[in-house]
Amino acid sequence: MAAAQTEWEFSCDLEVDFGSEENASVVYAALSVDKELQPDKVKRQMSISDGKLSVHFEAVEARFLRASYSAFVDILALATRTIEEFGEGIKM
């Protein structure tokens, strides 16, 4: 029986300032529903504070970290463009 892989050797952090707690909360809510496809290989933790979305990624290999980060940034860009397009007052 092989031991479970527990080393999370690769990590990176991302912080995006949305200028308001409301905008950060909307983006957080939209992105938090998408779970990692390989949670045994990549972990993602998100938090919001002072209008900023902070994201911490950890992965067992650099390629998993890169793929997860890249996919997340694509979705983050879409959410950010939506906020910019429709402005303040987006209701969930």
Residue 71 domain boundaries? 10-86
pLDDT reported for residue 16:
95
Model confidence at 34: pLDDT above 70: yes
Q: Is residue 71 part of a domain?
A: yes
Identity (one letter) of the amino acid at 60?
Answer: V
Residue (of 76, 71, 55, 61) closest to 7 by Cα position: 61
Model confidence at 88: pLDDT above 70: no
pLDDT reported for residue 1:
43
CA 40, CA 42: separation in Å to the nearest integer? 6
Percent of the chain with pLDDT over 90: 61
Q: Is residue 92 part of a domain?
A: no
- For residue 18, what is the domain's CATH number? 3.30.310.50
Q: Is residue 54 part of a domain?
A: yes
- 40-69 pLDDT tens trace: 999 999 999 999 999 999 999 999 999 999
- 68-80 pLDDT tens trace: 999 999 999 998 8
Total number of domains in the chain: 1
